[in-house]
Each structure stands twice: as C-alpha cells, then as structure tokens.
Amino acid sequence: MEQTESILIDRPAGEVWPLVGDVRGWNQWLTGISDVELVSDELAPGSEFSYQYRNKLVRATVDQYEEGRLIGISTSEKRYDFAESITLDPRGDQTEVTFTIGFDPTVWWASALSVLLIPVKGLMLGRPLRQELQDLKVAVEGGAGSE
C-alpha cells in the first residue's frame, strides 16, 4: 500500500533541503521523532540511522540519496516493511516537496487486512502525510505569514 502527497513551499530548494536531507533535522517538523543517531558519518545509500518514533526505537537504512533532491529510507517492523521518500522539485523561488510512504505486510494476516483497508488508505496515510508536509512548510517558511 502506498500514498503520495505534495506541497508547494515558498522557499527555494536550498532552504528546504537542510530540514529534509539531514535526518537529524527531522524532529523539527516530523511530530513524534526524536533522538536521531547516524551510524555512519554521512548520509548516502546504505547509511544506517536510528530514531525514536513515539517512544519506539526505529532502525532505518538510506536507500536513495541525491544531495539537494531526494532521500529515501526503509525500515522493518514485525509485521510490515516500510519505505518512505521525500523529493524536492525546484520551481524558481518555490519548491514542490513530494512525500511518499508505502508499506508491505510481511505476514499473511496483515496482507489480508491491507487489502481490506485500500478504500480508506487516503484517510489512513494521506491525512498524516499532508499534516507532516504542512509542518515542514511552517518550519521552512518560519511560521508567521506562511498560510
């Protein structure tokens, strides 16, 4: 199951990338994330990092990384494999940010449940993604006057 959402931020990509491309800054706009720790010195495909998400330790791997443009990560839990990517598309003094999240069940019953949830995936995944993108917009644009 996958969901994609986008938002236009009134800043150039160079001002958006520091909060998107460096996972250590995610806690400034992703609610529930804290204590990000990189295993390696830099972010690149194959790099690993960990973070707390709503008081749960998550270990992630960078799958895609293009400086200034794209970061994609994957994580695994007991029942699901997750993949997320954030892409920046410069548009002059603005940046379109696209956030995609997907998950694949790793056990049969979760797979069956996923099929049943397809009609409501926009509510389950879309609303949180839109909120996270709005939070990024506010963080980048500085809050005041960023409506």
**Residues 13-42 pLDDT 10s:** 999 999 999 998 898 898 889 999 998 888
What is residue 121's predicted lDDT score, i.e. its pLDDT?
44
Give the start-to-end residue ranges of the domains of the chain: 2-141
What's the mean per-residue pLDDT of the chain?
83
CB atoms within 10 A of CB 26: 20
CATH topology of domain 2-141: Alpha-D-Glucose-1,6-Bisphosphate; Chain A, domain 4 (3.30.530)
What is residue 91's predicted lDDT score, i.e. its pLDDT?
95
Q: Are 133 and 99 contacting, i.e. CB atoms less than 8 angstroms apart?
A: yes
**pLDDT tens-place string over residues 44-54:** 999 999 999 88
Higher model confidence: residue 104 or residue 61? 61
Nearest Cα residue to 20 out of 76, 80, 100: 100
**pLDDT tens-place string over residues 102-122:** 877 554 444 455 555 554 444
For residues 142 and 132, what is the distance between their CA atoms, to the nearest angstrom? 15
Q: Which residues pair with 76 in a beta bridge?
A: 81
Q: Token pair of 130, please? A: 């839109």
